[in-house]
Amino acid sequence: MDVLVAGGHGQIARRLLRILAAHGHNARGLIRNPDHVADLEADGAHPVLCDLEHDDLVPHIGGANAIVFAAGAGPGSGPERKQTVDYGAAVKCIEAAQATGVDRFVIVSSIGIQDAVHAGPMREYLEAKGAADDALRTSGLSWTIVKPGVLTDEPGSGTVDLSTGSGRRDPVSRDNVALVLYHVLLADNAIRAEFELFDGPTPAADAVQALLPGSGPVNVL
Protein backbone atom coordinates (compact mmCIF):
# COMPACT_ATOMS: atom_id res chain seq x y z
CA MET A 1 0.00 0.00 0.00
CA ASP A 2 0.99 3.58 -0.59
CA VAL A 3 -0.43 5.58 2.31
CA LEU A 4 -0.26 9.36 2.59
CA VAL A 5 -0.62 10.62 6.17
CA ALA A 6 -1.61 14.29 6.41
CA GLY A 7 -0.06 15.96 9.45
CA GLY A 8 2.81 13.53 9.06
CA HIS A 9 4.96 14.87 11.88
CA GLY A 10 2.14 14.54 14.41
CA GLN A 11 2.48 12.17 17.32
CA ILE A 12 -0.10 9.66 16.08
CA ALA A 13 1.01 10.13 12.48
CA ARG A 14 4.65 9.25 13.18
CA ARG A 15 3.63 6.12 15.07
CA LEU A 16 1.42 5.07 12.13
CA LEU A 17 4.14 5.82 9.58
CA ARG A 18 6.60 3.65 11.53
CA ILE A 19 4.13 0.74 11.61
CA LEU A 20 3.42 1.06 7.88
CA ALA A 21 7.11 1.24 7.00
CA ALA A 22 7.93 -1.73 9.25
CA HIS A 23 5.34 -3.80 7.35
CA GLY A 24 6.81 -2.89 3.98
CA HIS A 25 4.27 -0.32 2.89
CA ASN A 26 5.13 2.94 1.18
CA ALA A 27 4.61 5.32 4.09
CA ARG A 28 4.40 8.98 3.08
CA GLY A 29 4.01 11.80 5.56
CA LEU A 30 2.72 15.16 4.43
CA ILE A 31 4.56 17.83 6.49
CA ARG A 32 4.92 21.59 6.29
CA ASN A 33 8.24 22.09 8.08
CA PRO A 34 11.47 21.12 6.26
CA ASP A 35 13.11 20.66 9.67
CA HIS A 36 10.93 17.56 10.11
CA VAL A 37 12.27 15.75 7.04
CA ALA A 38 15.03 13.92 8.94
CA ASP A 39 12.59 12.67 11.60
CA LEU A 40 10.35 11.09 8.97
CA GLU A 41 13.29 9.55 7.17
CA ALA A 42 14.45 8.07 10.48
CA ASP A 43 10.95 6.57 10.81
CA GLY A 44 11.38 4.85 7.44
CA ALA A 45 8.83 7.21 5.88
CA HIS A 46 8.98 9.47 2.86
CA PRO A 47 8.42 13.15 3.65
CA VAL A 48 6.16 15.16 1.34
CA LEU A 49 6.48 18.90 1.86
CA CYS A 50 3.14 20.68 1.64
CA ASP A 51 1.30 23.12 3.89
CA LEU A 52 -2.24 21.85 4.31
CA GLU A 53 -3.65 25.34 4.83
CA HIS A 54 -1.85 27.24 2.09
CA ASP A 55 -0.74 24.87 -0.68
CA ASP A 56 -2.51 22.99 -3.45
CA LEU A 57 -2.57 19.37 -2.29
CA VAL A 58 -3.40 17.74 -5.62
CA PRO A 59 0.19 17.56 -6.96
CA HIS A 60 1.28 15.77 -3.77
CA ILE A 61 -1.28 12.96 -3.68
CA GLY A 62 -0.08 10.98 -6.69
CA GLY A 63 -0.23 7.22 -6.48
CA ALA A 64 -1.68 6.94 -2.98
CA ASN A 65 -3.96 3.99 -2.21
CA ALA A 66 -5.22 5.71 0.92
CA ILE A 67 -5.09 9.01 2.78
CA VAL A 68 -5.13 9.28 6.58
CA PHE A 69 -5.97 12.71 7.97
CA ALA A 70 -4.12 12.97 11.30
CA ALA A 71 -3.38 16.71 11.34
CA GLY A 72 -4.67 19.07 13.96
CA ALA A 73 -4.38 22.72 14.89
CA GLY A 74 -3.39 21.73 18.42
CA PRO A 75 -4.51 22.89 21.84
CA GLY A 76 -2.64 26.21 21.72
CA SER A 77 -4.43 27.43 18.58
CA GLY A 78 -7.31 29.87 18.31
CA PRO A 79 -10.69 29.49 16.60
CA GLU A 80 -9.37 30.55 13.20
CA ARG A 81 -7.01 27.56 12.97
CA LYS A 82 -9.77 25.19 14.07
CA GLN A 83 -11.47 26.32 10.87
CA THR A 84 -8.40 26.25 8.62
CA VAL A 85 -6.87 22.98 9.92
CA ASP A 86 -9.34 20.79 11.83
CA TYR A 87 -12.09 21.56 9.30
CA GLY A 88 -10.52 23.27 6.27
CA ALA A 89 -7.44 21.10 5.81
CA ALA A 90 -9.54 17.96 6.20
CA VAL A 91 -11.91 19.17 3.47
CA LYS A 92 -8.95 20.07 1.24
CA CYS A 93 -7.62 16.53 1.64
CA ILE A 94 -11.05 15.03 0.89
CA GLU A 95 -11.38 17.18 -2.24
CA ALA A 96 -7.84 16.29 -3.32
CA ALA A 97 -8.66 12.59 -2.88
CA GLN A 98 -11.76 13.01 -5.05
CA ALA A 99 -9.81 14.93 -7.69
CA THR A 100 -7.05 12.32 -7.91
CA GLY A 101 -9.16 9.17 -7.63
CA VAL A 102 -7.92 8.09 -4.20
CA ASP A 103 -10.92 6.22 -2.84
CA ARG A 104 -9.85 5.20 0.68
CA PHE A 105 -9.88 7.93 3.35
CA VAL A 106 -9.48 7.55 7.10
CA ILE A 107 -9.92 10.52 9.43
CA VAL A 108 -8.73 10.92 13.02
CA SER A 109 -11.75 12.56 14.59
CA SER A 110 -12.62 12.87 18.30
CA ILE A 111 -14.99 11.78 21.00
CA GLY A 112 -17.48 14.39 22.23
CA ILE A 113 -18.65 15.79 18.91
CA GLN A 114 -22.32 15.03 19.62
CA ASP A 115 -22.08 17.21 22.77
CA ALA A 116 -20.03 20.01 21.18
CA VAL A 117 -22.57 22.68 22.11
CA HIS A 118 -22.00 21.94 25.81
CA ALA A 119 -18.21 21.60 25.54
CA GLY A 120 -17.28 25.13 26.65
CA PRO A 121 -13.81 26.03 25.37
CA MET A 122 -13.71 22.82 23.30
CA ARG A 123 -16.85 23.74 21.35
CA GLU A 124 -15.17 25.34 18.32
CA TYR A 125 -12.69 22.48 18.04
CA LEU A 126 -15.37 19.80 18.28
CA GLU A 127 -17.67 21.61 15.84
CA ALA A 128 -14.81 21.86 13.33
CA LYS A 129 -14.05 18.13 13.75
CA GLY A 130 -17.75 17.30 13.39
CA ALA A 131 -18.06 19.36 10.21
CA ALA A 132 -15.04 17.56 8.75
CA ASP A 133 -16.63 14.20 9.57
CA ASP A 134 -19.87 15.33 7.88
CA ALA A 135 -17.92 16.30 4.76
CA LEU A 136 -16.27 12.90 4.66
CA ARG A 137 -19.54 10.96 5.16
CA THR A 138 -21.05 12.68 2.13
CA SER A 139 -17.90 12.58 0.00
CA GLY A 140 -18.60 9.35 -1.84
CA LEU A 141 -15.18 8.08 -0.73
CA SER A 142 -14.59 4.80 1.12
CA TRP A 143 -14.29 6.37 4.52
CA THR A 144 -13.65 5.39 8.12
CA ILE A 145 -14.08 7.81 11.02
CA VAL A 146 -11.95 6.97 14.07
CA LYS A 147 -12.83 8.90 17.26
CA PRO A 148 -10.11 8.50 19.90
CA GLY A 149 -10.73 9.19 23.57
CA VAL A 150 -8.32 11.28 25.64
CA LEU A 151 -4.89 10.74 24.08
CA THR A 152 -2.00 9.57 26.26
CA ASP A 153 1.64 8.72 25.69
CA GLU A 154 1.43 5.48 27.67
CA PRO A 155 3.11 2.52 25.95
CA GLY A 156 0.59 0.80 23.70
CA SER A 157 -1.15 -2.23 25.18
CA GLY A 158 -2.19 -3.40 21.71
CA THR A 159 -5.68 -3.93 23.11
CA VAL A 160 -8.64 -1.58 22.70
CA ASP A 161 -12.35 -1.01 23.12
CA LEU A 162 -14.43 0.32 20.21
CA SER A 163 -17.84 1.77 20.89
CA THR A 164 -20.30 4.34 19.59
CA GLY A 165 -22.20 7.20 21.20
CA SER A 166 -21.00 6.17 24.65
CA GLY A 167 -20.37 9.65 26.06
CA ARG A 168 -17.25 8.20 27.73
CA ARG A 169 -14.14 10.33 28.21
CA ASP A 170 -11.71 7.48 28.80
CA PRO A 171 -8.08 7.38 27.69
CA VAL A 172 -6.42 5.77 24.70
CA SER A 173 -2.71 5.68 24.02
CA ARG A 174 -1.42 7.20 20.80
CA ASP A 175 0.31 3.85 20.21
CA ASN A 176 -3.06 2.10 20.27
CA VAL A 177 -4.63 4.70 17.98
CA ALA A 178 -1.86 4.22 15.42
CA LEU A 179 -2.23 0.44 15.59
CA VAL A 180 -6.00 0.63 15.03
CA LEU A 181 -5.49 3.01 12.10
CA TYR A 182 -3.10 0.47 10.57
CA HIS A 183 -5.61 -2.36 10.89
CA VAL A 184 -8.41 -0.13 9.57
CA LEU A 185 -6.37 0.48 6.42
CA LEU A 186 -6.19 -3.30 5.86
CA ALA A 187 -9.85 -4.05 6.55
CA ASP A 188 -12.56 -3.61 3.93
CA ASN A 189 -15.19 -4.18 6.62
CA ALA A 190 -14.04 -0.90 8.22
CA ILE A 191 -15.24 1.07 5.20
CA ARG A 192 -18.20 3.31 6.14
CA ALA A 193 -17.74 2.54 9.83
CA GLU A 194 -17.23 5.09 12.57
CA PHE A 195 -16.39 4.36 16.15
CA GLU A 196 -14.98 5.70 19.41
CA LEU A 197 -11.64 4.25 20.42
CA PHE A 198 -10.42 3.65 23.98
CA ASP A 199 -7.83 1.46 25.64
CA GLY A 200 -9.54 -1.83 26.43
CA PRO A 201 -9.35 -5.61 26.44
CA THR A 202 -9.57 -6.61 22.76
CA PRO A 203 -6.56 -7.04 20.46
CA ALA A 204 -6.66 -4.22 17.92
CA ALA A 205 -6.85 -6.49 14.87
CA ASP A 206 -9.78 -8.44 16.38
CA ALA A 207 -11.63 -5.26 17.33
CA VAL A 208 -11.32 -3.92 13.78
CA GLN A 209 -12.34 -7.26 12.27
CA ALA A 210 -15.53 -7.13 14.35
CA LEU A 211 -16.62 -3.81 12.81
CA LEU A 212 -19.74 -4.09 10.72
CA PRO A 213 -19.28 -3.02 7.12
CA GLY A 214 -21.77 -0.91 5.32
CA SER A 215 -23.69 2.17 6.21
CA GLY A 216 -21.79 4.40 8.55
CA PRO A 217 -23.65 5.77 11.53
CA VAL A 218 -26.49 3.31 11.12
CA ASN A 219 -24.26 0.30 11.00
CA VAL A 220 -21.48 0.60 13.54
CA LEU A 221 -20.46 -1.28 16.65
Ligand X SMILES: NC(=O)c1ccc[n+]([C@@H]2O[C@H](COP(=O)([O-])OP(=O)(O)OC[C@H]3O[C@@H](n4cnc5c(N)ncnc54)[C@H](OP(=O)(O)O)[C@@H]3O)[C@@H](O)[C@H]2O)c1
Q: Which residues are catalytic?
A: 125
Site string for ligand X, 51-90 (x = CB under 6 A): xxx----------------xxx-x----------x---x-
Q: SS3 sequence, the chain?
A: CEEEEECCCCHHHHHHHHHHHHCCCEEEEEECCHHHHHHHHHCCCEEEECCCCCCCCHHHHCCCCEEEECCCCCCCCCHHHHHHHHHHHHHHHHHHHHHHCCCEEEEECCCCHHHHHHCHHHHHHHHHHHHHHHHHHCCCCEEEEEEECEEECCCCCCEEEEECCCCCCCEEEHHHHHHHHHHHHHCHHHCCEEEEEEECCEEHHHHHHCCCCCCHHHCCC
Name every residue whose Cβ is closer than 8 Å to that of residue 100 and which is 6 or more positions away in sequence: 58, 61, 62, 64
Point out which span in 7-15, 37-45, 59-67, 136-144 binds ligand X (CB under 6 A): 7-15
Total residues in contact with ligand X, by rule CB under 6 A? 22
Among 3, 5, 10, 67, contact with ligand X (rule: CB under 6 A): 10
Residue closer to ligand X by CB (options 74, 214) is 74
For position 7 contacting ligand X by CB under 6 A, the verdict is yes
Going residue by residue from 127 to 166, which x/- string records binding to ligand X, judged by CB under 6 A?
---------------------x-xx---------------
- In the bound state, the residue with its beta carbon closest to ligand X is 10
Residue 86-125 contact track with ligand X, rule CB under 6 A, x = bound:
---x------------------x-x---------------
* Shortest reach from residue 118's CB to ligand X, in Å: 17
Q: Which is nearer to ligand X, 6 or 211 (CB)?
A: 6
Separation of alpha carbons 12 and 95, rounded Å: 23
Least distance (Å) between residue 43 CB and ligand X: 13
Nearer to ligand X, 151 or 186 (CB): 151
Task: List, in sequence order, every residue forming a beta bridge with 194; answer none if it has no partner.
Answer: 145
Measured CA to CA, the distance from residue 9 to residue 37 in angstroms comes to 9
Q: How far is the CB of 111 from ligand X (least distance, A)?
A: 6
Contact positions vs ligand X (CB under 6 A): 7, 9-13, 32-33, 51-53, 70-72, 74, 85, 89, 108, 110, 148, 150-151
